[in-house]
Amino acid sequence: MIHEITTRSLKMGQATSNQVCNNSGGGDEDVAAIDSRLLECRQNFMKAVQKGEKYTHFVLNLISLPCPVSLKYALLNVKHILEQNNQSEEELKKIPIALVILEKYCRHLLKPVAFRAEMWRSVKYSNPIYEDRVEPLKGSTDIMELMGYTVKVEDGVYFPEGKEPDVDIIYNLLTDIIMARQEMELYLIGAHPQPAHIDQYLPQSTIMRIRILQQSGYKTSSTSPEKIDSKTGGEMKNKGCTICLDKKAVIFCEGCDKILMCEMCDSKWHEHPRRQQPNHKRKKIEAWNVIPQSSVKITHQGAYGLGLLSVSYI
């Protein structure tokens, strides 16, 4: 299915790129320049995601490029998402909300299997978070399918037994989701550098309501464009103590639902007799078998005109 999407959408993406550049009078030289900048920005962005480094400026560079929205993504059909969820400002606000959770699903699939939740292969529609934040997004099941949740049953979606996540696809999809979330957040607060690229997929009535929303000082989960993402982006990176939310986490406990703790909180937490059982095996976070540093190379074209990047471990 992904291969079919790639072949069909690539032709559409190339045609759109040529049309945009030809209309501007630049021709093939403009196409080559945009393609070069796209690939460079995407490579740097994905490297930062893989290494757990800050990537906000790479995202902003990609969003600012003067080319159609669809050309900036390798797997995520943002055009289709916008067209499916564009009848009101409320529908548009659901896009970044759902993408936050879908981003977490991707990051979870990139963990070593020993650190994934026991039931990682199944996502139930009845899960409160999925039901409240993901299901309202039309097209969300297509994104789940791209992750590998290809088995659909009445109560949810399942990852096929015997299969493991495709790291190349998950990293590309994760990169797409991060950018789409931030692109929509910027658009909703009126800070998108190329708002017309989003406007073209929305009815005029929705655009007018969005402008009113922006004038009222609407803010998303990010308080300003400059702070749209100060996170490092790596799920396997240290994100701080789960208990005190302040100090650096250095301990991981298998018997405590895999929470992360600093030394002080670990000491206090495990004073309780129930948490001194044999199943409470604690490990130093530095000893985790995390995803290694990696280099990135272009292997073939992606679904929407941008090269699908491949992880090559070193």
Q: Which of 92, 110, 99, 91 is nearest to 294 (CA)?
A: 110
pLDDT of residue 241: 64
pLDDT of residue 302: 40
Q: Are 245 and 262 contacting, i.e. CB atoms less than 8 angstroms apart?
A: no
Q: Are 297 and 312 contacting, i.e. CB atoms less than 8 angstroms apart?
A: yes
16, pLDDT greater than 70:
no
Average pLDDT over every residue of 17-44 = 60
> Residue 49, Cα to own-chain centre: how many angstroms?
10
Average pLDDT over every residue of 165-191 = 92
Average pLDDT over every residue of 220-246 = 44
What residue spans define the domains of the chain?
A: 2-121+162-234+294-313, 251-287
> What phi and psi values does residue 148 have, to the nearest 5 degrees?
125, 0
Average pLDDT over every residue of 31-56 = 82
141, pLDDT greater than 50:
yes
Average pLDDT over every residue of 161-188 = 92
Least confident of 83-87, 208-212, 220-224, 256-260: 220-224
Q: Are 210 and 89 contacting, i.e. CB atoms less than 8 angstroms apart?
A: yes
This prediction's pTM? 0.67
pLDDT of residue 290: 35
Least confident of 53-62, 65-74, 216-225, 265-274: 216-225
Confidence of residue 245 (pLDDT cuts 50, 70, 90): low
Helix (H) or strand (E) holding 251: strand 251-253
Average pLDDT over every residue of 191-196 = 88
Helix (H, G, I), strand (E, B) or coil at 211: helix
Q: What residues contact residue 233 under an 8 Å CB cut-off, 6+ apart?
A: 48, 49, 52, 53, 54, 55, 178
pLDDT of residue 212: 86
Give Dmax (Cα) for the chain: 74
Q: Give, in degrees to the nearest 5, the angle at Cα 236 between 159 and 155.
A: 25
Confidence of residue 2 (pLDDT cuts 50, 70, 90): very low
Domain 2-121+162-234+294-313 has CATH 1.20.58.2190: yes
Report which of residues 161 and 254 the model is more confident about.
Answer: 161
> What phi and psi values does residue 301 have, to the nearest 5 degrees?
-70, 145
pLDDT of residue 314: 35
Q: What percent of the chain has pLDDT over 90?
A: 35
Confidence of residue 151 (pLDDT cuts 50, 70, 90): very high
> What phi and psi values does residue 69 have, to the nearest 5 degrees?
-55, -45
pLDDT of residue 90: 93
Helix (H, G, I), strand (E, B) or coil at 203: coil
Q: Give, in degrees to the nearest 5, the angle at Cα 43 between 106 and 104.
A: 15
Tally of CB atoms within 10 A around 185? 23
Q: What residues contact residue 30 under an 8 Å CB cut-off, 6+ apart?
A: 21, 24
Tally of CB atoms within 10 A around 158? 17
Which amino acid is it at 68? P
Least confident of 70-79, 86-95, 268-277, 299-308: 299-308
